[in-house]
Amino acid sequence: MQNPGARPQIVVFGDLERALYRLGNWHAIEAVADIRFYHQHLEGADLLAAAEQADALVLVRDRTPLDAATIARLPKLRFVVFTGSRNATLDLAALAERSIPVSHTDWGPSKESTTELTWALILAASRQLAEYSTLVHEGHWRFPRPQSLPGVLYGEVLGLVGLGEIGRRVASVGKALGMEILTWSPNMSAERAAAHGAHSVSLETLLARAKVVSLHLVPSASTRQLINAERLAQMRPDSLLVNTSRSALVDMPALADALRRGSIGMAALDVFDQEPLPADDPLRDTPRLLMTPHLGFVVEPVFERFAQGVVTGLEAWLASLT
């Protein structure tokens, strides 16, 4: 029970970018409540210690797991707001059992942002931009020994595993670059694929033919670790695997093994099984792997929407207390 006259305690988790306060107008909230921001990743006892006195929690995306066991140990909790419209690590049923209201923000141009990052990774990997940038920074101009030069995507095959809102946007760019577009998903039809300039094929055909394989599915029981050792072995030896969707779609140890053995050409990843990626994770030392720290939705316009939505939700909740 809230003590009469006590100021509500609001705790913000997962704002790694330190953007929510900068982009939102928190003045009205600060006038009546106390706010604490935790920018680092917290789990377990550290998470409970930070949240145990919270009346309201703000969660940036699904970076901070809030399961039923954790919720049960937060006796003061009365409100939760998260950014975006979907949170896979938040136990909504446990909150509903305690009649704790939940709010969320809209997305802003996150699908457009993820599409752009997908193509940034495809182009950077296929043109070896990271390697050439390092070469110039180190005072060189060309590599001292002969090596394979970058290829050209024109005339190549782009394989899209999933053709939803992001996959369709990725396909339109591939078509503009002169690529043939193949697609597969568990419920794909020839008509749906053709409507977006793609050809529906089996997953085996897509993997065997595509120079670039880009993943755009939400994981399900049938698609978790879809790209496993067996399917990696079906890919072209010069292929590029790109994942800006969910790490659960890929067997990460199998991918690292395939890259070390050279059975596929390259991979570019924006999502990982554990985030932030541990300092000793084997992926950090895996060759022919381009990595970005989950930047698909991390752009100023999206975080502006996040900040505005969080502030609006908190203001409405605080108003309901009076």
Which residues contact residue 147 at a Cβ distance below 8 angstroms, ignoring those fewer than 6 apart?
A: none
Closest C-alpha to 174, from 196, 202, 207: 196
Spatial separation of the C-alpha atoms in residues 119 and 129, rounded to whole Å: 13
Provide Rg for the chain, Cα atoms. Answer: 22
Spatial separation of the C-alpha atoms in residues 215 and 289, rounded to whole Å: 16
Give the strand order in the sheet containing 102-104. 34-38, 9-13, 56-59, 79-82, 102-104
Prior bond to 276 cis, omega within 30? yes
Burial class (CB in 10 A: 0-12, 13-18, 19+), 304: middle
Tokens describing residue 18: 């330190």
The one-letter amino acid code at 161 reads V
22 included as an active-site residue: no
Task: Judge whether 80 and 95 are in contact, CB under 8 Å.
Answer: yes
Spatial separation of the C-alpha atoms in residues 52 and 34, rounded to whole Å: 14
3-state secondary structure of 218: coil
Q: Where does the chain show beta strands of DSSP type E? A: 9-13, 34-38, 56-59, 79-82, 102-104, 157-161, 180-184, 199-200, 212-215, 240-243, 266-269, 289-291
275 included as an active-site residue: yes
300 included as an active-site residue: no
Considering 180, 275, 304, 315, which one is annotated as catalytic? 275
Considering 246, 260, 288, 315, which one is annotated as catalytic? 246
Considering 104, 169, 294, 305, which one is annotated as catalytic? 294
Catalytic residues: 246, 275, 294
